[in-house]
Structure 1
Amino acid sequence: MPHPARPTVTLRDVAGAAGVSVATASRVLSGSSRSVAPQYVSRVLEAAASLRYTADVSARAMRRKSDAIALVADDLTTPSIALVVAAMERQARTVDAFVTVSATRGLPERQLETVRTLCGFWPRALVLTSSRIATGEVGARLLEELLAYERRGGRVVIYGDIDVPFDSIRVDDRASARLLGAHLAATGHRRPVILAGSRERSFAAERTSGFVEGLLGGGVDVQDIRIVNCEVGRRGAFEATAALIGGGLGDTDALLAVNDQMAIGALAACRAAGVDVPGRLSVSGFDDIQLAADVTPRLTTVALPFADIGARSIRLALTAGEDRRDVVRETVMGTLVPGGSTVDRAARNR
Structure 2
Amino acid sequence: MPHAARPTVTLHDVAAAAGVSVATASRVLSGSARKVAPEYEARVLAAAAALRYTVDAAARAMRRASDAIALVADDLTTPSMGMVVSAMEREARTAGAFVTVSATMGAPERQSETVRVLRSLRPRALVVTSNRYLAGEVDVRLVKELRAFEREGGRVVIVGETDMTFDSIGFDNFRVGLTMGTFVAEIGHRRVAIFAGAGNLRNLGDRTAGFTAGLCAGGVDERDIRVVQCEVGRRGGFDSARSLAEAGMDGVEAVLAVNDIVAVGALAGFRAAGVSVPGDVSVTGVDDIPLAYDVTPRLTTVALPLAQAGAEAIRIVLGEAGTGRRMSVDGHLVIRDSTRPRPRPRP
Q: TM-score, normalised by structure 2?
A: 0.92
CA 303–93 in structure 1, closer or farther in 2 if over 3 Å, else same: same
Structure 1: runs of 5 or more not aligned: none
| Alpha-carbon shift at residue 15 of structure 1 (Å) | 3.0
| Alpha-carbon shift at residue 200 of structure 1 (Å) | 1.2
Query: Separation in 1 of the partners of 2:137 and 2:252?
Result: 46
1:285–1:300: 8 Å Cα contact kept in structure 2?
Answer: yes
Match in the other structure for 1:35: 37
Match in the other structure for 2:258: 258
Match in the other structure for 1:330: 327
| Alpha-carbon shift at residue 27 of structure 1 (Å) | 4.3
Match in the other structure for 1:126: 126
Match in the other structure for 1:344: 341
2:263–2:284: 8 Å Cα contact kept in structure 1?
Answer: yes
Report the 3-state secondary structure (helix = DSSP H, G, I; strand = E; otherwise coil) of the residue aligned with 2:169: strand
1:27–1:36: 8 Å Cα contact kept in structure 2?
Answer: no
Letter in 2 for 1:57: A
Query: Separation in 1 of the partners of 2:4 and 2:282?
Result: 61
CA 299–332 in structure 1, closer or farther in 2 if over 3 Å, else same: same
Query: Separation in 2 of the partners of 1:216 and 1:134?
Result: 26
1:48–1:54: 8 Å Cα contact kept in structure 2?
Answer: no
- The more displaced of 140-149 and 307-316 is 140-149
**Structure 2 residue 171 is the aligned partner of structure 1 residue 174:** no
CA 73–150 in structure 1, closer or farther in 2 if over 3 Å, else same: same
> Alignment length, in residue pairs?
345
Deviations 1:163-182 (A, max 9, x none): 11210001111111100000
Letter in 2 for 1:35: A
| Alpha-carbon shift at residue 52 of structure 1 (Å) | 4.3
Structure 2: runs of 5 or more not aligned: none
Letter in 2 for 1:197: G
| Alpha-carbon shift at residue 155 of structure 1 (Å) | 0.3
Deviations 1:38-90 (A, max 9, x none): 7x8357525534434324322334x2210100000010010001001001001
Letter in 2 for 1:346: P
Query: Separation in 2 of the partners of 1:325 and 1:138?
Result: 21
Letter in 1 for 2:42: V
| Alpha-carbon shift at residue 202 of structure 1 (Å) | 1.7
| Percent of paired sites with the same residue | 56
Match in the other structure for 2:319: 319
Match in the other structure for 1:95: 95
Deviations 1:113-152 (A, max 9, x none): 1101111111111100012358999922221111111112
Deviations 1:248-291 (A, max 9, x none): 11311001100000100011111112211111110000000000
CA 196–141 in structure 1, closer or farther in 2 if over 3 Å, else same: same
CA 155–51 in structure 1, closer or farther in 2 if over 3 Å, else same: closer
1:241–1:269: 8 Å Cα contact kept in structure 2?
Answer: yes
Match in the other structure for 1:54: 55
Query: Separation in 2 of the partners of 1:73 and 1:125?
Result: 14
Query: Separation in 1 of the partners of 2:135 and 2:11?
Result: 34
Match in the other structure for 2:163: 163
> How large is the Cα RMSD of the aligned pairs?
2.5
Deviations 1:181-220 (A, max 9, x none): 0000000000110001111122111111110000000000
- The more displaced of 229-238 and 271-280 is 271-280
Report the 3-state secondary structure (helix = DSSP H, G, I; strand = E; otherwise coil) of the residue aligned with 1:66: coil
Report the 3-state secondary structure (helix = DSSP H, G, I; strand = E; otherwise coil) of the residue aligned with 2:336: coil
Match in the other structure for 1:220: 220
